[in-house]
Amino acid sequence: MFHKFVNRYIIEGELVAATALHIGAAKDEFRPNGCKNPFFRNASGLPLIPGSSLKGAMRSFLEQYLSSEAGKEEIPKNIIYRSGICNEESPCIDLKAGGKLEEFFNSKKPDAPKKLSDYLFGAPGAKEKGKLCIVCRLFGSPYSAAKLSIRDARVIEKTFHREFEIRSGVAIDRNFGTSAIGKKFETEVVPEGTRFSFQAILENGDATEWKIVQQLIRAMELGLIPIGGMKSRGLGEMRIEGAKYQDINGNNIAEYLTGKIIEFQEL
């Protein structure tokens, strides 16, 4: 299933900070201005939004959306994989399924990889549906790679003037509702209006997966998927602008590989 090329959708656009944005860096990272909560940077000191941060935000939005009444209608019932989505009470791979996976992994039979793939992803005409829900298929699970990959979003330099801003505040003690003594904090943010390049790639997506990915991009156009830290303080509202996509498939892959430019289409 994975080694065969079916299609690839390449989505590009610009992510615009509608409010200031904070993406936390590792604790032991260099702190250029002594700020305790520095912004994540690339090797040249420019702000960067790791693909994993974007992916995490998109995944949790999708989980909420697809568990809502409107979202439940989006996955057709006759699909070859689980039409509901997993949650703690009903994981895609429960203990029983985990045992079954182990059997496939330990099997020496030549058809074991195909059976494993059908078991996880489903196969047309099979008695049982594929175990993995659409969220796990798109964003990955401990048993399968993600079909949707999100690149690190690099800052568009002309929109960032090498100036981070510092937000300071007082940490509130959750139990007493008072400010904890000495718990003043400073957080580094990039200002509103800063732009980042966005790229996502859907590999071998079926029609339903592609529709769901387009809905995700739509939600990002509307600013419904906040990103990064301090969201409860109004930070991290991001919007995608100018989203467009390239559709690479069996009909144009040869041209694509010989360097012919495949036109982007509006999303």
Smallest gap from residue 60 Cβ to Zn ion (A): 13
Return the ∠ at Cα 99 (arms to 96 and 103), rounded to 5°: 140
Number of residues that bind Zn ion (CB under 5 A): 4
Residue with tokens 């800063």: 194
Which range of residues in 79-87, 108-116, 177-185, 239-247 is near Zn ion by CB under 5 A?
Answer: 79-87
CA distance 90 to 163: 46
C-beta closer to Zn ion: residue 48 or 92:
92
Q: Would you state the structure tokens that stand for residue 87, as one six-digit string?
A: 């949650």
Q: Using CB under 5 A, which residues numbered 87 to 126 contact Zn ion? A: 92
Nearest to 188 by CA among 15, 53, 30: 30
Which range of residues in 78-86, 119-127, 216-224, 228-236 is near Zn ion by CB under 5 A?
Answer: 78-86
Over the window 1 to 30, marking each residue x when it contacts Zn ion by CB under 5 A and - when it does not, the resulting string is ------------------------------
Which range of residues in 81-89, 168-176, 189-197, 228-236 is near Zn ion by CB under 5 A?
Answer: 81-89
Q: Would you state the structure tokens that stand for residue 50, as one six-digit string?
A: 């790791």
Rounded-to-10 torsion of CA 247, 4, 52, 10: -10
Give the residue nearest to Zn ion (CB): 86
CA distance 181 to 159: 38
Over the window 226 to 255, marking each residue x when it contacts Zn ion by CB under 5 A and - when it does not, the resulting string is ------------------------------
C-beta closer to Zn ion: residue 67 or 107:
67
The one-letter amino acid code at 6 reads V
Residue spans of beta strands (DSSP E) within the chain: 7-17, 48-49, 148-150, 153-154, 165-172, 179-189, 195-203, 238-249, 265-266
What is the three-class DSSP state of 7? strand
Smallest gap from residue 39 Cβ to Zn ion (A): 32
Smallest gap from residue 131 Cβ to Zn ion (A): 8
Smallest gap from residue 130 Cβ to Zn ion (A): 11
What is the three-class DSSP state of 101? helix
Q: How far is CA 236 from the centre of its chain?
A: 15
What is the three-class DSSP state of 136? helix
Which of 133, 138, 212, 217: binder of Zn ion (CB under 5 A)?
Answer: 133
Rounded-to-10 torsion of CA 24, 28, 29, 33: 90
Which range of residues in 12-20, 23-31, 43-51, 83-91 is near Zn ion by CB under 5 A?
Answer: 83-91
Does 86 contact Zn ion by CB under 5 A?
Answer: yes
Does 49 contact Zn ion by CB under 5 A?
Answer: no
Which of 58, 62, 136, 155: binder of Zn ion (CB under 5 A)?
Answer: 136
Smallest gap from residue 86 Cβ to Zn ion (A): 3
Task: Give contact residues for Zn ion (rule: CB under 5 A).
Answer: 86, 92, 133, 136
